[in-house]
Chains A and B, each alone.
Chain A
Amino acid sequence: GQQVQQSPASLVLQEGENAELQCNFSSTATQLQWFYQSPGGSLVSLLSNPSGTKHTGRLTSTTVTKERRSSLHISSSQTTDSGTYLCAIVGNMGYKLTFGTGTSLLVDP
């Protein structure tokens, strides 16, 4: 089945530093989404980016479909960015999201 791998598993930054999160997937993705999950909280969709580059606020996602990889860049990190970032894909056989295990980000003041 489809597999989604994220790296690094965890990341610690000082406030103001940039973060680069990686997502690799094993099969064709018709959709790719990045989610944020606060500690003990629900998932919030950050970006939908099946190909190319997209920006929203301090977030930039770049997906290279042929190479089956995506990245999420967080610029000028803030303590409120702390949490888990999840990458999820939809394959070409349906509508379900397959998730990676996430990157846990901690931003220290």
Chain B
Amino acid sequence: EAAVTQSPRSKVAVTGGKVTLSCHQTNNHDYMYWYRQDTGHGLRLIHYSYVADSTEKGDIPDGYKASRPSQENFSLILELASLSQTAVYFCASSDGQNSDYTFGSGTRLLVI
């Protein structure tokens, strides 16, 4: 079954540390996305990618980097984690035809 798998499911990170969130999809989708969800803000787009080895900035990219080494894999990197980056992070993939979006189960990140 096609799916989007995120790892880890949850993580506690220290302020100033490096955090990498991973995402793997088996949907054969070209587009992949990273969103963060905060209470009162809904989901906001951080970075996205429509082809391997290329990433694009979303609406709130500051403090985040992204990497798309292959069609299946898309990572979100926090080089210097900050308290304000505590949130739930969702990865998603889509077929680019605007009709088929699949989300991962999310990663709960707590920065202390």
Contact = CB atoms under 8 A, between A and B. Distances in A.
Contacts of A33: 101
Given A86-B43, A101-B40, A95 B98 contact: yes
A48 B105 contact: no
A1 interface: yes
Q: How big is the B interface, by class?
A: 20 to 34
Interface string A6-48: 0000000000000000000000001101010000011111001
A31 B105 contact: no
Given A1-B59, A42-B90, A97 B101 contact: yes
Contacts of B59: 1
Interface of B: 31, 33, 35, 40-45, 48, 50, 58-59, 90, 92, 94, 96, 98-106
Contacts of B99: 31, 48
A96 B33 contact: yes
B42 A99 contact: yes
A83 interface: no
Nearest to A89: B98
A41 B101 CA distance: 16
